[in-house]
Chain A
Amino acid sequence: MRKTRWTNVRESAIRAFFFTCGILTVLVLLGIFATLVATAVPAFRDITPSEFLLKTNWDPTSPEKAEYGILSMVVSTLMVTGGALLLAVPIGIGVASYLSDVAHWRVREILKPVVEILAGIPSVVVGFLGIVLFGPLIAKVFHTGHGLNAANGSVLLAIMALPTIISISEDALSAVPAAYGEASLALGASRWQTLVRVKLPAGLSGIIAATMLGMGRAIGETMTVLMATGNARSFPHGFLESVRTMTSGIAIELGEVPYYTTHYYALFAIGLVLFVMTFAVNMAADVVLRKYQEKER
């Protein structure tokens, strides 16, 4: 076939079309950021940024003086996320180690998709189970009136973060060169010693990245914490207290807020803070993951 000028034009047009589709994701990401900034900025005509970030009282509908401090919500988010990681990281690394080093390969082939099922359960269902299963349990064990508190949220977020942590940690462990393990076994170390002193340290950066991705997911999760943590607006003092995270704060109030008021803009400002936090965590995870992939090569 002879390539005419017409085919050349057509080929470039097709390439340009696919390029437009490709570049769209960049535009969406920039668009989300720009939209959040543009809608958050008007809030700061009435609120000073330091008041917004450092005050703990959030009461936009107060008849006397509306207050817009998000610190309680930020601390609640960090608390619930931290609790989730305390549970999910050891269990996740344990399961990843089990899958890569202990389980028979047939068992592993069955269990890996089973763990994936956990990732497929919608967050609203997990939140529902927090209300009907874990809530009453926590209330009984710790003698609190109801079980809708930070601890409940942490347990649920841990369950939701586990599949991410397990699968990426498992990848990291299986990417450790076989020679490392063999050398350790040849020197007389047990399989356990090899796992703990050789393989886990060698896969550490992957495990850290897995933890951070799990953390990003936990910070941004909305429905589970909205349903299971009780949503009290006060500053949190312990895991058995009801807390309101940034995501639930937005979810509760955005439905009722009048458009284009300071309150409305302030909710978008919370969204912006949330976006920046998850962006930072994900970028950090990305850098760590990239470093370790480069090292592997």
Chain B
Amino acid sequence: MRRSTRKKLVQAAGFLALRVAMGLVLAVLVLFLYDIGRKGGGAISWEFLSQAPRRGMTEGGIFPAIVGTFLVTVITALLAIPLGMCSAIYLNEYARQNRLTRLIRLSIRNLSGVPSIVYGLFGVILFVNALRLGTSILSAGLTLGLMTLPWTITASEEALKTIPDSYREGALALGATKWQAIRTNVLPYAVPGMLTGTVLGLARAAGETAPIMFTGAAFYLPYLPKSLSDQFMALPYHLYIMATQHHAIQQVRPLAYGTALVLIVLVLGLNMTAVVIRYRLRRKRR
């Protein structure tokens, strides 16, 4: 009898420890969001969102950084989404189980583990120097695009896997070629899922700093970029500058908080949109 009481006590203590671990993680998340929401909220105004920084970035807003992040993300999407989808189509529809396919899969898994700053180094050599794109929106966007590629491939393949084989077989049995079967009976059903998955990848790319630091992001530009070969301001890099490199760090802290809030709303907003759409798609399919 005493032994069983002890067993119960140990279990209660153990489960309590697990709950504490969960609580700790939730507390950290709440603390993060609360701190940024409260202190960043005070800095947000129409002026903050719609104007360029003024007086050595001690006043004004973050409009050029919002535009820069938007433009870079568009370039990222243009590279990563089509390439990711096509790779996924190859892997899921055409590839046989052989050594080459295993090598491709291995490369994808390893690419997603390459540190973001290493992508930055690669971008400097390939896009900025070798392809002579200079430090520009284009270089930064393409660098981020390469970094996003493994995520978009994985997400697109997940979407293709959910399409039952009978869809493909139905078309093939009617005499369609492989590509006709894919185009008419697979892609229309898979593309929404592919797109939502890739949005998650884009959200992560939009918040990245290390790959764009040396490929095009600028410290301070009071005007908007005129072409894709201009340098640009970006939200994550702007936050880094305001938090560590500015000459009056304490004075601009509210602006840094405001930038952090805008960045987090943008990234988490994209994330949640994708999650909600994916949830709806899954429900519809059932």
Contacts and interface: CB of A to CB of B under 8 A. Distances in A.
A281 B25 CA distance: 25
Judged by DSSP, the binding face of A is helix
Contact of A254 (B100, B108, B214, B243): B214
B29 to A, nearest CB: 5
A128 B252 CA distance: 13
Contact of A132 (B150, B236, B253): B253
A15 to B, nearest CB: 6
A256 B156 CA distance: 39
Nearest to A130: B243
A21 B111 contact: no
Given A120-B271, A121-B264, A123-B207, A250 B117 contact: yes
Interface string B118-133: 1111101110010000
A217 B257 CA distance: 26
B83 interface: yes
Interface residues of A, number: 89
Given A17-B86, A114-B26, A28 B14 contact: no
Given A115-B25, A117-B271, A121-B32, A94 B115 contact: no
Contact of A283 (B28, B31, B110): B110
A223 B209 contact: yes
Given A19-B90, A117-B29, A193-B7, A223 B210 contact: yes
Contact of A14 (B179, B243, B275): B179
A251 B126 contact: no
Contacts of B15: 98, 102, 191-192
A220 B116 contact: yes
A129 B32 contact: yes
Interface in A23-43: 23-26, 28-29, 31-32, 35-36, 39
Interface string B2-23: 0000011011001101111110
B220 interface: no
Contacts of B169: none
B214 A255 contact: yes
Interface string A110-132: 01011111101111111111011
B213 A255 contact: yes
B122 A31 contact: yes
B1 interface: no
B14 to A, nearest CB: 4
B32 A18 contact: no
Contact of B239 (A94, A121, A124, A250): A124
Judged by DSSP, the binding face of B is helix
A35 B214 contact: no
A176 interface: no
B149 to A, nearest CB: 7
B114 A278 contact: yes
Contacts, number: 256
A131 to B, nearest CB: 6
A29 B244 contact: no
A31 to B, nearest CB: 7
A125 B207 contact: yes
Contacts of B179: 10-11, 14-15
24 contacts: A1-B176, A17-B86, A18-B89, A31-B126, A32-B119, A36-B118, A98-B15, A102-B15, A114-B26, A120-B267, A121-B207, A122-B208, A123-B209, A123-B210, A124-B237, A127-B243, A128-B239, A131-B244, A193-B11, A220-B113, A250-B121, A254-B214, A275-B114, A283-B110
Given A22-B94, A26-B107, A122-B267, 13 more contacts: A18-B90, A28-B111, A32-B118, A32-B122, A90-B21, A124-B237, A125-B264, A132-B243, A190-B11, A219-B115, A220-B113, A222-B210, A254-B124
Across the A-B interface, the 10 shortest Cβ-Cβ residue pairs: A220-B115, A122-B207, A94-B21, A22-B90, A21-B86, A192-B11, A282-B113, A18-B90, A98-B18, A222-B210
Interface of A: 1, 3, 7, 10-11, 14-15, 17-19, 21-26, 28-29, 31-32, 35-36, 39, 90-91, 94-95, 97-99, 101-103, 111, 113-118, 120-129, 131-133, 159, 162, 166, 190-193, 195-196, 213, 216-217, 219-223, 226-227, 247, 250-251, 254-255, 259, 267-268, 271, 274-275, 278-279, 281-283, 286
